[in-house]
Amino acid sequence: MAGDFSGCTARKKNRAQSIEYNPVKTDGSGENSKQPTNPLTTRSGLRVYKIVILGDGGVGKSAVTLQFVSHSFLDYHDPTIEDSYQQQAVIDGEAALLDILDTAGQVEFTAMRDQYMRCGEGFIICYSVTDRHSFQEASEYRKLIARVRLTEDIPLVLVANKLDLQSQRKVSTEEGKNLAKQFGCPFYETSAALRHYIDEAFFSLVREIRRKEEQRELHAHLNGSLSNSTLAELRELKYGKESPGYTTNECFYKILKGEALTLEECFKKFQYAHDLTDRQESLERATQRVIEDFANDNVIYLELRTTPKRTAHMSKRQYLCTVLEVLKKTPVCRPSITVKLLPSIDRSKGVVEAMENVDLVIELSALFPGLIVGFDLSGNPFGTKFSDFVPALQKARGHGFRLALHCGEFEDVHEVQEMLALGVDRIGHGTFVEGENLAFANKHQIPFECCLTSNVKCKTVPSYEDHHVQKLLEMKQPVCVCTDDFGVFETSLSQELEICAKTFNLSNGAVIEMQRNAIEYSFANEEEKKDLRSKVEQLIATVNSSA
């Protein structure tokens, strides 16, 4: 194997090391690998691959990892709670930075595994050829990953370590190959002591991630996303052109004329939106128009949020069914955009309504399969305790729904800690996620939904230049730029991306990469992500060819 290492062990994400590798073999069987296509890159041009090592205690996970990053053999057993390493490499001519999390195998640390599995892009499941129990447990790790990630399509490599201890072998090569075949993944028998097939295992996983690799809007509220023209249309639908008082609302028409609005006037749009969507016909029209507006802005994936509402003309069930029926028809009416729903839990409505919403969504998810992908927690947090909503959120998660929580909208270190401990999948806004909480979010690569104009207009940040997205980008925190309420704040996703690029001097490549990565942070399933990746690359190719 051709390669060169330099530097020292990258323990706890210290200075990364570098090798170059152009192999003929990739799996120990002599078969050539499929070359990767469209690898992702960071702002600096280097793609970071989040890799998690799983397996029972004592199988040699740490020894395998240390051999890879430092060419040294760990010949003693020190039960790991968690160690992380970085290793730079060139694989098949493509630069890569492998960010490796070496996890606990001891029973007392099993509670930490779900969080590991959420943050990883690819996984190495390791067992020892001298320990049949560790081999049997490999299948359990595979099931755990699928349960946490809610998909079977996971970049994975199966590693059988301690190949040098042939006299103590309890698991045959054939058994390992058969298990890998069941997993649908590459298989390696390795020796951390002799450094056999160590690099090949890691590089093969990068290829698996690459193999399984426009705009995506992950944080948009339905009523806050009604444009001025849609509000006018809905007002006419409800009150008619000649209704008394139709032309007397000066604030309403000030909004429609696009005049500079105060924050108070911005939030009056919410009041108008709620009033104008209190019937099924108007709610259906509003949902259609919001989707059209996003599609016209070239958004190809949208996660729309709305709180189930009980009005004088609709039950909560009718409200949600009306929205879901529109989403169900979208692939035919608007094939350019994929739309999913994140029902919201409004904190100001209390815990009884929260559980009521969760139960209703669980019921409707069976009638509208694939359309409801998670829950949003939002609403006025003051006077409420997050811990009171945990049972409802845990119930939602137990039924397979992901969690996008408005987190750190005000200074409350303990509440942010509680949200992180619950296992939030994406952080909404995150303005006051700081210190140890930010370090935790960074360590576990929890994506932030950043809504620049919303935060500036709501005065949670003093200016675009002071927005926390800059710090997040500098520390390589996953970030997706969103609109929040494009109607209320008179913006669009294109405009938000432009503001971000100009304010923080981002290259076109960095903005494109940000949008590529948003696919991975979305709650779409793997088949949908595959289709979205293809659309993005086609759009990029079209733009480049016409430039």
Residues with catalytic function:
409
Q: What is the number of H-type helices and E-type strands within the chain?
A: 19, 15
Return the CA Rg of the chain.
Answer: 25
Contact 226, 274 (CB under 8 A): no
Angle between helices 351-367 and 386-398 (to 10 degrees): 20
DSSP 371-389: TB-EEEEES--TT--HHHH
Q: Which secondary structure element, helix H or strand E, spans residue 67, and what is its range?
A: helix 61-70
Widest pairwise Cα distance in the chain: 93
**Taking the alpha carbons of 475, 115, 126, 158 in that order, is the dihedral positive or negative?**
negative
The residues near 117 (Cβ < 8 Å, ≥ 6 apart) are 52, 54, 123, 144, 145, 148, 149
Q: Which secondary structure element, helix H or strand E, spans residue 127, and what is its range?
A: strand 122-128
Tokens, residue 54: 């799983």
Contact 100, 87 (CB under 8 A): yes
Contact 430, 484 (CB under 8 A): no
- Cα distance between residue 523 and residue 512, in whole Å: 19
Contact 61, 537 (CB under 8 A): no
Task: Tell me the three state secondary structure of residue 132.
Answer: helix
- Cα distance between residue 464 and residue 469, in whole Å: 9
Tokens, residue 292: 């059209």
- Cα distance between residue 40 and residue 118, in whole Å: 19
Contact 135, 173 (CB under 8 A): no
